[in-house]
């Protein structure tokens, strides 16, 4: 019953917010390509570029981004400052809720809000918007979704990285997951381990999530399927299409099968997790 309700909920959100053809592995989309912008950021800098361009041109009153804080921890912040957006660039592989910041911005009278979010956060934001649309019909929320296979528990990740890579993750610079490896910059060098070796640090809820590409976002962005230095972009709505049309970016092709492979893998893992849970109840 829970799976059936979730599927119905997804279809309702898709009809309300998205536009394009529906693929069983990629979700609803109207365009898919690889892109590189002039903005320094993760891979092709697409997410940061969208946010900066939207603030500059008045498409957004404010944005919600995830910023790294002391140690290897992160928190969501609401801002209208280009400098703060630029400072928050780069992926943080941690579970962070953006809803409190969204509530705060709405209370402040902000109505055009962009949120960078993982798949679970995108779903929560859509549902939150649905509950508020009658009270605030002018509320315009844009979701920039991130590809996400799983998020890590900070304390557990710290222990696993110390065991596998012999480093203190609180002291690392940039972290990246690419082609099945977790890498981190530390003391002028880049160290890495296989991502499957970090299974013990994964947040439990992630094992039940079947969404890899943030299927409910306006634009989804990730590295899978693109060459190094580029971002894969999946455009899912008319709003997302307008944002990308206005963005200056160099485009390239995408290895779609790479995305589909991970999407299927995550779907299968979620099914197994639900079956195992039922068998132990």
- Per the structure, the complete domain to which residue 183 belongs is given by 152-202
Q: Indicate whether 6 and 91 sit together in one domain.
A: yes
- For residues 186 and 171, the model is more confident at 171
Q: How far apart are CA 262 and CA 83, in angstroms?
A: 34
Q: How far apart are CA 112 and CA 135, in angstroms?
A: 15
Q: Indicate whether 235 and 123 sit together in one domain.
A: yes
Predicted local distance difference test score (pLDDT) of residue 257: 97
Predicted local distance difference test score (pLDDT) of residue 262: 96
Whether the predicted pLDDT of 152 surpasses 70: yes
Whether the predicted pLDDT of 1 surpasses 70: no
Last residue of a domain, one of 160, 176, 202: 202
Q: Is residue 213 very low, low, confident or very high in pLDDT (cuts 50, 70, 90)?
A: very high
pLDDT digits (tens, 9 = 90+) for 252-274: 999 999 999 999 999 999 999 98
Last residue of a domain, one of 202, 234, 269: 202
Residues of the chain with pLDDT > 90, as a percent, come to: 80
Q: Indicate whether 145 and 156 sit together in one domain.
A: no
- Beta bridge partners, 191, equal 184
Q: Indicate whether 42 and 177 sit together in one domain.
A: no
Residues in the chain, overall count: 281
Whether the predicted pLDDT of 3 surpasses 90: no
Q: Indicate whether 135 and 118 sit together in one domain.
A: yes
Q: In what order do the strands lie in the sheet with 181-186?
A: 175-178, 181-186, 189-194
pTM of the model: 0.93
- Could you tell me the CATH number of the domain that includes residue 272? 3.40.640
Q: Indicate whether 197 and 209 sit together in one domain.
A: no
Q: Indicate whether 138 and 228 sit together in one domain.
A: yes
Measuring CA to CA, how many Å separate 60 from each of 51, 79, 138?
8, 10, 13
Token pair belonging to 60: 């957004």
In this prediction, residues 108-134 reach a mean pLDDT of 95
pLDDT digits (tens, 9 = 90+) for 174-184: 888 888 899 98
Are 252 and 36 a contacting pair, CB within 8 Å? yes
Residues of the chain with pLDDT > 70, as a percent, come to: 99
H or E stretch at 191:
strand 189-194
Number of domains in the chain: 2
CA R_g for the chain: 18
Q: What is the mean pLDDT of the chain?
A: 93
Predicted local distance difference test score (pLDDT) of residue 133: 87
The C-alpha angle with vertex 250 and arms to 247 and 251, in degrees rounded to 5, equals 100
In this prediction, residues 113-135 reach a mean pLDDT of 94
Q: How far apart are CA 236 and CA 103, in angstroms?
A: 25
* Helical spans, DSSP H, in 96-153: 99-107, 119-132
In this prediction, residues 92-114 reach a mean pLDDT of 94
Dihedral pair phi/psi, residue 142, rounded to 5°: -110, 130
Q: How far apart are CA 175 and CA 186, in angstroms?
A: 10
In this prediction, residues 1-15 reach a mean pLDDT of 87
Are 223 and 43 a contacting pair, CB within 8 Å? yes
- Could you tell me the CATH number of the domain that includes residue 159? 3.10.450.750
In this prediction, residues 223-241 reach a mean pLDDT of 96
Whether the predicted pLDDT of 223 surpasses 70: yes
Q: Indicate whether 116 and 71 sit together in one domain.
A: yes
Predicted local distance difference test score (pLDDT) of residue 164: 92
Whether the predicted pLDDT of 70 surpasses 90: no
Whether the predicted pLDDT of 29 surpasses 80: yes
Q: Indicate whether 136 and 190 sit together in one domain.
A: no
Q: Indicate whether 117 and 56 sit together in one domain.
A: yes
Q: How far apart are CA 217 and CA 220, in angstroms?
A: 6
Q: Indicate whether 24 and 36 sit together in one domain.
A: yes
């Amino acid at each position: 019953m829970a799976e059936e309700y979730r599927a119905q909920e997804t279809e309702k959100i898709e009809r309300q917010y998205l536009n394009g053809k529906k693929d069983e592995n990629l979700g609803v989309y109207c365009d898919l390509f690889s892109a590189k912008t002039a903005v320094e950021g993760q891979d092709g800098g697409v997410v940061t570029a969208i946010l900066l361009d939207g603030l500059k041109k008045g498409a957004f009153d404010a944005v919600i981004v995830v910023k790294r804080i002391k140690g290897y921890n992160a928190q969501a912040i609401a801002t209208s400052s280009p400098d703060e957006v630029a400072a928050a660039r780069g992926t943080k592989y941690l579970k962070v809720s953006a809803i409190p910041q969204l509530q705060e911005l709405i209370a402040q009278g902000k109505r055009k809000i962009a949120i960078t979010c993982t798949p679970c956060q995108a779903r929560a934001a859509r549902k939150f918007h649905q509950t508020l649309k009658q009270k605030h019909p002018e509320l315009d929320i844009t979701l920039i979704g991130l590809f996400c296979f799983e998020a890590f528990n900070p304390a557990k990740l710290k222990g696993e990285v110390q065991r596998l890579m012999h480093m203190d993750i609180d002291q690392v610079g940039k972290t990246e997951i690419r082609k099945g490896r977790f890498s981190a910059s530390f003391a002028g060098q880049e160290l890495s381990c296989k991502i499957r070796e970090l299974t013990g640090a994964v947040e439990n809820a992630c094992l039940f999530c079947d969404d890899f590409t943030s299927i409910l976002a306006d634009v989804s962005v990730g590295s899978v399927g693109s060459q190094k230095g580029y971002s894969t972009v999946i455009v899912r709505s008319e709003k997302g299409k307008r944002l990308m049309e206005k963005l200056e970016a160099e485009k390239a092709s995408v290895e779609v099968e790479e995305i589909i492979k991970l999407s299927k893998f995550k779907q299968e893992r979620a099914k197994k997790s639900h079956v195992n849970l039922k068998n132990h109840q």
